[in-house]
Structure 1
Amino acid sequence: MSEELLVKQSVAKGTAMGGAVLLVTVGVLEFLQGISAVAKDEVILVGVEYTYKLDVTAWGWIHLVLGAVVAATGIGLFSGVIWARISAPIICGLSIVVNFLWLPYQPWWAITIIVLNAVVIWAVATWDPAKI
C-alpha cells in the first residue's frame, strides 16, 4: 500500500470519527432548535414571506425528528456499525436540504450545519476501513 493512500485513509478515518462526534452534536443542537421553534421561543425570528413557508411549529417538529435521527446515526457511526456508514450520507443530505429551506429563519446556523454535513459526507464516503 502506498504511503499516500495510507495518509489519505488515516485522514478520512479521523474525519469520519470526528464526523460521528459532529453528527451527535448537530443532532442534539438541531433537536434543541426544534424545541425552541415548537415552544415559539423569541429566539426564532420569522421574516418575510418565503416560497417554502411552513409554520415555525412545523419546522420545529421537523428539526426535532431530524435531530434525533442525526444523533442516532452519529452514535452508530461512532460505534462503527455498517448501517450508520450507509445511512450517514443519506441523513446528512436530508439535513442539508432541510437546513437550506431553514435559511430565512436562521441563516448562519443553517449554513454552519450544511457545511458540517458536507464534511461528514466526504469523510464517510472516503474512509475505507479495510485499507487501514
Structure 2
Amino acid sequence: MTAERTDVTTPDRDADYGAKTGFAFGISIVAAALIFVASLVAIFQGISALAKDDLFVLGNEYAYKFDLTTWGWIHVVIGVLGVLVAGGLAVGADWARVAAVVIASVSIIAQFLWLPYYPLWAILIIALDLIVIWAVATWKPAEGY
C-alpha cells in the first residue's frame, strides 16, 4: 500500500483554487458595489432632507422625532463613511471588512428610525445593508486575491 501525496498540485486542485479565489474576489467587489450604492442613496436622502424637501411626511406622534436637518446630516455622514468603506473593500483592505459590517449595521438602525419619513427608501437601504453584511461575512480573504 502506497501513501498518497497531498502536497502535489493537480489540475483539479488548481482549478478549484482558482474558482475559489475568483468567487472570493467577486464577493468583495459585490460588497463594495452594494455598500457604495447604499451610501450614495443615503447621501441623496440626506441632501433631500437638508433641502427640506416636501416629499417627507410625518405624523404627529413619532418617538424618534429629530429635526429634518439633523436626519439629513445623519444620512450624509453615514453615506460618506460608507463610500470610504466601499473604496477600502474594493482595494481589499483588511480594515474595510469590519468597517463595512459596522457602517451597514449603523445604517440599518438609522434607516429603521427613518421609516416614518420615507418608508420605501428606508426599506430599500435596509435590504441593501443586509446583503452587504452577508457578502462581507461570507467572504474569506485567505482564499481571495
- Give TM-score scaled by structure 2 length: 0.79
3-state SS of paired residue (1:129): coil
1:67 is the counterpart of 2:79: yes
Structure 1 gaps of 5+ residues are none
- Residues 35 and 64, structure 1, Cα contact 8 Å, conserved in 2: yes
**Number of the residue aligned with 2:68:** 56
Cα drift, residue 129 of structure 1: 2.0
1:82 is the counterpart of 2:94: yes
Larger Rg: 2
Distance 1:72 1:47 in 2: 34
**Number of the residue aligned with 2:132:** 120
Runs of 4+ displaced beyond 6 Å: 3-9
Structure 1 residues 84 and 69: alpha-carbon distance in aligned structure 2, compared to 1, 3 A threshold = same
1:109 to 116, 121, 136: 121
Structure 1 residues 112 and 7: alpha-carbon distance in aligned structure 2, compared to 1, 3 A threshold = farther
Structure 2 letter corresponding to 1:130: A
Structure 2 gaps of 5+ residues are 1-12
1:47 is the counterpart of 2:82: no
Structure 1 letter corresponding to 2:54: E
* Cα-Cα RMSD: 2.2
Distance 2:25 2:116 in 1: 34
1:14 is the counterpart of 2:26: yes
Q: Residues 17-64 of structure 1, C-alpha deviation per residue, up to 9 Å, x if partnerless?
A: 112111112112211211110110122223342111111111001001
1:30 is the counterpart of 2:45: no
Distance 1:45 1:5 in 2: 52
Sequence identity percentage: 46
The size of the alignment, in residue pairs, is 131
